[in-house]
Amino acid sequence: MTLVLRICHLYPDLLNLYGDRGNIMVLAQRARWRGVDVAVVEVTLGRTAPGDADLYFLGGGEDRQQRIAADDLAARQRGPLTDAAAAGAVVLGVCGGYQLLGRFYRSADGRDLPGVGLLDLWTEHPGAGSRRLIGNLVVQPDGGGPALIGFENHGGRTYLGPGARPLGRIVLGFGNNGRDGGEGGVAAHVYGTYLHGPLLPKNPVFADRLIREALERRHPGCELAPLPEALEKHARAAVLARAGRPADA
């Protein structure tokens, strides 16, 4: 039986900071290396996301692009995304995309941008002149496994409600708000994070976790064959060395 992975990339023309499109490339290639057929659908403004994708991705954008995407997302995508997530699809949001998976984003001018409400969280910008949270980011994921590594650059401070849990705990960097030690948000198969750079090339174990969870929606019990990881390990070691952290064991 041939496995098929259906990926929906939301607003690739608006939300693509720090090479976020690379996350789609990694998901597709790591699946294809295992013999999985991959179909990627790009959804731009004015189009509605398909309800049958196995994985949905939202990248990051500057404030103007995020405002444009927020209105379209709330008007067109809230229903399809909510239904797909309830049916077991994986949803991943990075930076601005992460913020829009929550309930709302309150910008520096006090305007609330609507979110889709897949994660019980909200984001507030503390106002003009406040410090941006910028730098290398190292996170120990809840449940164990290799550290998640990347780069963060955001003005908003994100706070989790009781219906979401952090993706992990901060080892280096600021994370959600620079105060509570948490980074990212998770509920079921919905994930949000401030890790850019892009996220998945630097974190292949996490990429495989998303692929496996996405495939299990239609193929329960499927397993992913191991891949040679020499280049990925060298890349991680270089990033961790710049961040002053030990390489993976």
- How many of the other CB atoms lie within 10 Å of CB of 189? 21
Question: Given 125, 154, 189, 196, which residue is catalytic?
Answer: 196
Query: Given phi > 0 = left and psi -120 to 50 = alpha, else beta, which region is 218?
Result: alpha
Specify whether the CB–CB gap between 225 and 34 falls below 8 A: yes
Could you say which of 8, 9, 95, 189 is catalytic?
95
Q: Is 130 helix (H, G, I), strand (E, B) or coil?
A: coil
Strand 148-154 relative to strand 133-141, pairing: antiparallel
Residue for token digits 């993976």?
Answer: 248
Q: Respond yes or no: is residue 222 known to be catalytic.
A: no
Q: Which of 181, 84, 109, 189 has its CA nearest to residue 140?
A: 181
Map 40-84 to HEC letters.
Answer: EEEECCCCCCCCCCCEEEECCCCHHHHHHHHHHHHHHHHHHHHHH
Looking at the annotation, which residues are catalytic?
A: 95, 196
